[in-house]
Amino acid sequence: MIQNMRDLGGLGIEGGKVIRPHMLVRSAQLLQAEEADLEHISLIIDLRTSEEQKESPDRNHGRRHLPMPLFDAATAGISHEAGAEDHGIPDMAYLYRRLVNECTESIGSVLKTIMRHDYSEGAVLWHCTEGKDRCGIITALVLETLGADRRTILEDYLKTNLVNLPKAVSIRNQLMATHGKAFADSVYQAYIADERYLKAAWDAMGENYIGEKLGISEAMKASFRRAVLSE
C-alpha cells in the first residue's frame, strides 16, 4: 500500500478544463507498493536523496524508475535519512524558501521530465518520503503550469493532513516524554502540511519563476496542457 497517494485527475483548471484521470499521480515512498497500486503508472520519479533511496528502496514492479533527487544531502525536516532530525528542525517555511531558491536546476529538470512524458504510455508518479514537501513543491508547480489557481493548489497540498496529521500527533506525544516540548513541536511541524510553508515558497519564487528560473517555455506548457487536460 502506498501512503498519501493522490491522482490529480478531476481537478479543475481555469477555462473550464479538468485534469484527465490516470495522468498525474503524487505520493509518499513506494517501499510497500503493491502491483495494483501502480496500475496505469508507466514512469516513477523518486525525489528523495540517494541515502533515503538506499534505506527504503522503491518497489516499482517493473515500471520505469528515475531517481531525481531535488537535493542530495540530509536536510532536517525535508529529507528523512536516519539521524536527519537528531539536531532539531529549522522553521519549515524557511526550508521551503531555500528549496525553491537553491534547487532550481533539479526542480526544473523534474518538471520538464513530467511535461515531456508520453502519456499514451501511462501516468507519471512522483514522490518523496512523506509525499508532502518535495512532492508538494513539484505538484504545486505542475498544477500552476496547467493553469490551476493557487486556491486549488493549496487545497490539494493540505489534503496531505488527512494522512499525516494523526501520525504527527502520535509522534509529538511520544517525543514530549523523551526530548521535551520544543523538539516534539518542531518534529510535529515537519510532519504536517501548513499553508504557511507553501505560501513562503510562492513568496520566494517571485514573478515568473516557472519561465525565468526553471526555463519552461509557453510552448512547452501548451503541449503539456494538450496532453493531460480535457474539457
Mean pLDDT of 208-223: 97
State the cell numbers at 5.
497517494
Q: What is the pLDDT of residue 211?
A: 97
pLDDT above 60 for 81? no
Cell numbers found for residue 207? 514573478
pLDDT score of 187: 84
Pairing of strands 12-13, 17-19: antiparallel
Average pLDDT over residues 186-195: 89
Q: Could you tell me the three cell numbers for 23?
A: 495522468
Q: What angle do CA 76, 81, 82 make, to 5 degrees?
A: 105
Task: Sketch out the chain's domains with CATH numbers.
Answer: 6-77+88-230 (3.90.190.10)
CA dihedral 111, 140, 205, 88 (to 10 degrees): -100
Rounded to an integer, what distance in angstroms lies between the CA atom of residue 2 and that of residue 191?
Answer: 17
Q: Do residues 71 and 106 lie in contact, with contact meaning Cβ atoms separated by under 8 Å?
A: yes
- 229-230 sheet: strands from edge to edge: 12-13, 17-19, 229-230
CB within 8 A of 151, min separation 6: which ones? none
Grid cell in block for residue 124: 507519471
- Provide the grid cell at 117: 512524458
**What gap in Å lies between CA 114 and CA 68, rounded to an integer?**
12
Which residues make beta-bridge pairs with 19? 229
Please give the pLDDT value at position 79: 61
Q: Is 221 buried (19+), middle (13-18) or exposed (0-12) by CB count in 10 A?
A: middle
- State pLDDT tens for residues 16-29: 999 999 999 999 99
Whether residue 74 has pLDDT greater than 70: no
